[in-house]
Amino acid sequence: MADTEILTDEDLPEDMDVLRRLPRSATEEWLIGVSDFKGQSYATARVYYRDKEDNLKPSRHGINVHEEMLPELLQGLTAADELLTERAGG
């Protein structure tokens, strides 16, 4: 099973349980985790950037997926990964 440890870095947003941080650029990173909105849970992958005070802020680039749709999304992403691998000759 995948590592589901929630990150506790002090600069992370309080409204999201962050499981992964992936660098995107010198000033941006993907945060991947789980958030709640209006009583519903969502898997979240969103680009965050650093403001002038060096605080992480959410950008408009990302996706929130309701927990019921997550298995279908993962199947689609797995299929896309397989196709990319085939195209790369692997």
- Which three-class secondary structure string do you get for the chain? CCCCCCCCCCCCCCCEEEEEEEECCCCEEEEEEEEEECCEEEEEEEEEEECCCCCEEEEEEEEEEECCCHHHHHHHHHHHHHHHHHHCCC
The total of structural domains in the chain comes to: 1
Range(s) of the domain holding residue 20 = 16-87
Q: What is the pLDDT of residue 2?
A: 63
Confirm whether 5 is domain-assigned.
no
Q: What is the pLDDT of residue 4?
A: 87
Confirm whether 7 is domain-assigned.
no
- State pTM to two decimals: 0.88
Confirm whether 8 is domain-assigned.
no
Confirm whether 67 is domain-assigned.
yes
Confirm whether 11 is domain-assigned.
no
Q: What is the pLDDT of residue 71?
A: 97
The per-residue pLDDT string of the chain (90 residues; one tens digit each, 9 = 90 and over) reads 567 899 999 999 999 999 999 999 999 999 999 999 999 999 999 999 999 999 999 999 999 999 999 999 999 999 999 999 999 997
CATH of residue 28: 2.30.31.10
Confirm whether 4 is domain-assigned.
no
Confirm whether 3 is domain-assigned.
no
Confirm whether 26 is domain-assigned.
yes
